């Protein structure tokens, strides 16, 4: 199974198109915490604790809910958004007519992807795949990625253990320098 994820350059192009403070904070939270769209709609204002620099994530599909450290960049974006947030609903992310719905978030994503000139086959869920892949590329342990995504079963996380080009090259360099591999 091939996992669709955005490379860092593509992710930067995507975020470069987002000038709206709400949308920037929304998609940053989805990416940074590997949220499913429905999980993003569950976020409430009280789930953010700026003093403790934490965010409470409500996981679906049998995932493990819990408090996570708040990325400083995400905190900054959330603070900027909250200064002008329209309190038209109970969710953290609201619009003119109340809480943002899954379909609205999906449509926003598609619009920004199109504006960035990126593949229209990507869905919001690819942001979840992207953070998992980027964490592994950064050298994070598969168990950290499992915890970060809220997976209860490690098998669900192992799909992200695929080797990207960057990771593959790093492994080969390490192998070349290793005495475990015979140089002939």
Q: Which residues are catalytic, by number? A: 36, 61, 125, 128, 151, 160
CB 37 within 8 A of CB 59: no
CA distance 90 to 56: 16
CB 53 within 8 A of CB 75: yes
Burial (Cβ within 10 Å: 0-12, 13-18, ≥19) of residue 38: middle
For 64, the enclosing helix (H) or strand (E) is: none
Distance of CA 44 to the CA centre of its chain: 18
**CA dist 103 → 24, 151, 179 (Å):** 17, 24, 54
């Amino acid at each position: 199974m091939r996992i669709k994820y955005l490379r860092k350059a593509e992710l930067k192009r995507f975020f470069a198109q987002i000038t709206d403070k709400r949308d920037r904070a929304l998609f940053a939270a989805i990416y940074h915490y590997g949220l499913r769209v429905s999980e993003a709609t569950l976020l409430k204002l009280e789930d953010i604790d700026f003093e403790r620099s934490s965010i409470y994530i409500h996981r679906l599909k049998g995932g493990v809910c819990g408090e996570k450290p708040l990325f400083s960049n995400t905190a900054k974006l959330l603070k900027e958004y909250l200064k002008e947030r329209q309190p038209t609903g109970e969710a953290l992310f609201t619009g003119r007519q109340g809480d943002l719905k899954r379909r609205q978030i999906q449509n926003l994503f598609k619009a920004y992807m199109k504006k960035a000139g990126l593949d229209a086959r990507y869905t919001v869920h690819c942001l979840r795949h992207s953070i998992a892949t980027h964490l592994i590329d950064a050298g994070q342990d598969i168990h950290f990625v499992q915890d970060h995504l809220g997976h209860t079963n490690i098998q669900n996380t192992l799909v992200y253990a695929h080797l990207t080009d960057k990771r593959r090259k790093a492994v080969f360099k390490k192998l070349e320098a290793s005495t475990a591999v015979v140089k002939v």
